[in-house]
Structure 1
Amino acid sequence: MISGRLLFKNDFIFKKYVIFCILLLTIYHQHGISQSFKASVVAGTNMAQIDGDFLYGFKKTGLTAGGRISYPVTKNMFLNLELLYSERGSSVSYFEKNDSNKYSLRYLEIPLIFSIHDWFHEEKKYYIVRAEAGFSYGALFQLKVPPVVDENQFKKNDFSYILGLGFQFTKNIGLSLRYTRSINDMLDYNLPEPDGRNLRFRGYFITGRLEYSF
């Protein structure tokens, strides 16, 4: 349906993790754990696509925003836990207004990322570039789909892998580019193609985002 149904069970999960993120950031500032952990806020754009929907190209743009907590495993290696709001899906064109030609999916994402940093700035004391990889859990909490598609068949949980690169302009401000691809299918069943073969839905997207580290 095109109504944009809200998935209340996962919406509860969304609200719970938002509260958790706020509490974590409050503890971060009030109890001085910043000596070990580093907090960041991030915001950017997803350019998304779905394998199997016959809508080709990264033409569904959407917002991504959230926070990140980083823990230094070694001097230049970090373990990062993020909480993100993420808009995904697919579209026939970048500026498509007809909802019957696009899929709009909203997720709460919790990525766990391992990053390696290099090119140390001796004067300012920060690493300029990084490479990262990891996995992410996504909870679907709202969707709009074409009327010919049964929205009840969309899985509420998504598991993805992530590859990315980052660049720091200053000690606090950076830019990152990521590729995320779902490991599991988006639907609880496989849609048949006209020739009788099974068709799978699997999402993937490219993300560009700005990052501010405290």
Structure 2
Amino acid sequence: MKQYCSIFLVLFCISSFSQSFNGGLISGIATSQVSGDNLGGYNKAGFLFGIYTQYPLSEISNLQLEINYIEKGSNNPKMIENNIPDISLSYIEIPLIFNYNQNEKMNFEFGIQSALLISSSDNDIIGPINPINSIEFKKYDTGLLLGMSYLLNQKIALNTRISNSILPMRKHAEGNTYLFNKGQYNTVLSFSLKFIII
């Protein structure tokens, strides 16, 4: 995680002095769910904002690095009926992305991301549950992402992205593990605007 932060800071500083780099701000919403929490659907909505920088690899591709604050987890709209707790998570997330420019307006992206957990809770109908009575969340979350961006004008692009943990962000409540299911995983569908500043 520290290596990602160092790389990002170097690239972002260089972007201020080189026309080869560009960068800007990111702002949007993240809808999410947690696989393995006995709930379904992207019912959790949270904030997403951060900064990014890009370095061109060719005329049709570039490498992008971001540092974002993002809220993830799950929401149970029927908690009164089924008494299943939901989850609130906040991360500082650093995606490393390869962008392919389909044309002047649209590009496709894929990459890997690493995230540092900064707050977490299970929630019942009253509010946050005492951590003593919850399964501990892992401090780091690692995932893969796919997405696309559409340039609305010279300064603003619309981005949509789906990402999923490749390692569990915590164990199942019972502690069980399976071949392709080692615990609970974050899945996020985000919608954001990229404001091009540099």
| Class of the TM-score when normalised by the shorter of the 2 chains | 0.7 to 0.9
Aligned to 2:32: 48
Aligned length, in residue pairs: 183
More helix by share: 1
State the Cα distance separating 1:144 from its structure 2 match: 1.8
Aligned to 1:74: 58
Aligned to 2:147: 164
Q: Give the AA of the match of 1:43.
A: S
Give the CA RMSD over aligned residues.
Answer: 3.0
The answer as to whether partners of 2:67 and 2:95 remain within 8 angstroms in 1 is yes
Q: 1:93 aligned to 2:82? A: no
Secondary structure at 2:15 match in 1:
helix
State the Cα distance separating 1:93 from its structure 2 match: 2.7
The answer as to whether partners of 1:60 and 1:93 remain within 8 angstroms in 2 is no
1:115-159 Cα shifts (integer Å, max 9, x gaps): 00122xxxxxxx200000000000001112133874562100110
Q: How does 1:58-69 map to 2 (within 5 A)?
A: 58-69=42-53
Give the counterpart of 1:133 among 85, 98, 110.
Answer: 110
Q: Give the AA of the match of 1:114.
A: F
Q: 1:190 aligned to 2:172? A: yes
Q: 1:44 to 1:159 in 2, by over 3 A?
A: same
Aligned to 2:88: 104
Unaligned runs of at least 5 residues, structure 2: 124-128
The answer as to whether partners of 1:39 and 1:67 remain within 8 angstroms in 2 is yes
Q: TM-score, normalised by structure 1?
A: 0.75
Secondary structure at 1:131 match in 2:
strand
Q: Give the Cα–Cα distance (whole angstroms) in 2 for the partners of residues 165 and 76 of structure 1.
A: 14
Unaligned runs of at least 5 residues, structure 1: 1-9, 120-126
Q: TM-score, normalised by structure 2?
A: 0.81
